[in-house]
Amino acid sequence: MHDFASAIAEAFRLIAALDGNLAEIVLLSLRVSISATCLAALLGFPIGALIAMANFPGRGLAILMINALMGLPPVVVGLIVYVMLSNAGPMGGFGLLYSPAAMIIAQTVLITPIIAALSRQTIEDLRHEYDEQLRVLGVGPLRAVPTLIWDGRFSLATALLAGFGRASAEVGAVIIVGGNINHVTRVMTTAIALETSKGDLALALGLGLILLTIAVMINALVLGLRVTATRTAYA
């Protein structure tokens, strides 16, 4: 109990002192997860919009797949990206394995279905609601897309935050493709796993507290978006 209390105290001291090692890990984590979220948004929003707006053979299957992929196990994603980026893989020539870029790719693969599925649902719901009104105004499908995206902006922002939350809390994929190399690919989640196994609870707890704070901030942002949307009747 005493060890635990002192570990907590040390964790707070590391955070308060802006410990260099801890800061490096936190900044790399944010860089990787924010980059992955941006890339996933670039892929996921158009995919979601396309499935929501277009009628094509196999659309039901596409929705089924994208919803199923929301639950992709991170270690499986890590394994697949590892195979792709390894020397024997089709992207081996890029030499990305065990680099932050590999971790960004893995997290992008992991959260793109989340952003695509949630944005598909948002845009499709709005499309059903607006369909007759937009058509009677003379709005075609191409013009409808930016309208639906703008009017669904609060829900789409929530989808983005959900993706970032999943990316920043993920450990299985980044440890496989990043290798948890100190000063190179060590992020919060992999560092927590390592430091806990080494018995260095202070650093693990410090990182855990920061990770927890980020999770709380994301949820606060989601709640804030919902409250704002409801208050302004744009929800």
Partner 1 sequence: MGGAASSDTAAILPIRGEGLTVDRGGRRILDALDVEIGGRGTLVLMGPNGAGKSVLVRVLAGLVRPTAGRVTWAGAPPDRRRAPRLGFVFQRPVHLRRSALANVTYALAVAGIPKPQRVKQAHAALARGRIAHLAQAPARVLSGGEQQLLSLARALATEPEILFLDEPTSALDPAATTAIEVLLAEVRAQGVGIVLITHDLGQARRLADEVAFLHRGRLVERTPRDQFLAQPRSPEAQAFVRGEIVL
Which residues of the shown chain bind partner 1 in the complex (CB under 8 A)? 129-130, 132-133, 135-140, 143, 147, 151, 232-235
- The amino acid sitting at 202 is A
Residue number, 133 or 197, with CB nearest to partner 1: 133
| Nearest distance in Å: CB 149, partner 1 | 12
**Given its phi and psi angles, is residue 183 left (phi above 0), alpha (psi -120 to 50 degrees) or beta?**
left
Residue number, 78 or 152, with CB nearest to partner 1: 152
At a CB cut-off of 8 Å and minimum separation 6, what does 82 contact? Answer: 89, 97, 176, 177
How far from 173 is each of 98, 110, 163, CA to CA, in Å?
11, 8, 15
Classify burial at 179, counting beta carbons within 10 Å of its beta carbon; exposed 0-12, middle 13-18, buried 19 or more. Answer: middle
| Nearest distance in Å: CB 45, partner 1 | 18
| Nearest distance in Å: CB 144, partner 1 | 10
Residue number, 95 or 224, with CB nearest to partner 1: 224
Residues in the chain: 235
Residue number, 90 or 129, with CB nearest to partner 1: 129
| Nearest distance in Å: CB 145, partner 1 | 14
Distance between CA atoms of 125 and 53, rounded to whole angstroms?
11
| Nearest distance in Å: CB 143, partner 1 | 7
Residue number, 59 or 143, with CB nearest to partner 1: 143
**Given its phi and psi angles, is residue 198 left (phi above 0), alpha (psi -120 to 50 degrees) or beta?**
alpha
